[in-house]
Amino acid sequence: MVSVRLLISAVATSMLTTAAFAADMAVLPPPPPPPYQPPPMVYAPPPVMVPQPLGGWYLRGDVGVGITSAANLEFLQNPLNSSNFAIQNASMGDTTLFSAGVGYEFNNWLRFDVTGEYRTKSPINAFGIYTFGGGTFVDTYQGFLKSTVFLANGYIDLGTWDCLTPFVGAGVGVAYNTLDDFVDVGVPSAGSGIGRNSSNFNFAWALHAGVSYAVTENFSVELAYRYLNYGSVTDTINCTGGCNPDSYKFQNLSSNDLMLGVRWKFPVAYAQPQYQPRQYPLATRD
């Protein structure tokens, strides 16, 4: 009887304990959520910077004066003639030149261009003497030389200081020379002759030195010196009274040129970087 009572008491105690624990569990608050961790920030990729090209095409134009004080005139006697005629002196006057061209600037120290140039008429004067029958005779010569010159040039820019850029260069090409209105007058023989206005193509070359001033990024002014060698030209004079015509060759034509020019560089278009604002994701709580 005692055992039954003890068993009943133990079961009742267990049931009361379980009910109390369940009641305690029912009133406890839920556990706190884990600490909030914001997602990583996402940024736009950096802009792609496209560098501005250093080179570019340009146009150029020049005006100047060619100084040619001396002329090398050679007498080419007709094989059918026999005389002791010899040129004593020959001179050539200054000329004015006009030039235009197009070029390409590879970088800030190397550029190339091609130019076409017209050189206006330069006056020519010469005289020679010969003896005949115990007397001395003089022939005087007058005429004009005009030329068209085409050159391919290369330049090296030597650095820039306060927008000033000194440079050196060289060029090669071809010259088309014409001896115009070339006449011969004899003194005191009163003989005369007229040339044929002959023209010749010749190899030409040049050396350059000067300085340019950058007025703007695309426009420059140039002051330059150039030595130009532009070949030779030969003409034949026909005697007005009839004779075996002799020829005359102006050889090693050269000029010291002072030139004022301008260069205009075409603007170069290049991609501009596109900047985007930062992008922030929305933070949410589960």
pTM for this predicted structure: 0.74
Residue 128: per-residue pLDDT = 93
Pick the CATH number of 56-265 from 2.40.30.10, 3.40.1350.10, 2.40.160.20, 1.20.140.10: 2.40.160.20
Which is nearest to 275 in space by CA: 52, 51, 49, 53? Answer: 49
CA dist., res. 35 & res. 141, Å (int): 110
CA dist., res. 209 & res. 206, Å (int): 10
- The owner of tokens 């007229």 is 194
Residue 116: per-residue pLDDT = 98
Which is nearest to 113 in space by CA: 263, 269, 229? Answer: 263
Residue 134: per-residue pLDDT = 81
206-240: pLDDT as tens digits: 999 999 999 998 999 999 999 999 999 999 999 88
Residue 230: per-residue pLDDT = 95
16-70: pLDDT as tens digits: 555 554 555 555 567 777 776 777 766 666 655 545 556 799 999 999 999 986 7
Q: Is the pLDDT of residue 74 over 90?
A: yes
Average pLDDT, the chain: 84
CA dist., res. 269 & res. 113, Å (int): 21
Weakest mean pLDDT among 2-11, 121-130, 185-194: 2-11
Structural domain spans, the chain: 56-265
Q: What is the mean pLDDT of residues 259-267?
A: 95
Weakest mean pLDDT among 62-71, 80-89, 182-191: 182-191
235 CB neighbour count, 10 Å cutoff = 23
DSSP of 106-122: -SSSEEEEEEEEEEEEE
Q: Is the pLDDT of residue 14 over 70?
A: no
Residue 241: per-residue pLDDT = 76
Residue 33: per-residue pLDDT = 72
Q: b/e map of 113-136 (b: 16 or more CB within 10 Å)? A: bebebebebbebebbbeeeeeeee
Between the CA atoms of 128, 130, 136 and 138, what dihedral angle is there, to the nearest 10 degrees? -30
Q: What is the mean pLDDT of residues 118-129?
A: 94
124-149: pLDDT as tens digits: 999 999 988 888 889 999 999 999 99
225-234: pLDDT as tens digits: 999 999 999 9
CA dist., res. 238 & res. 244, Å (int): 8
CA dist., res. 252 & res. 19, Å (int): 128
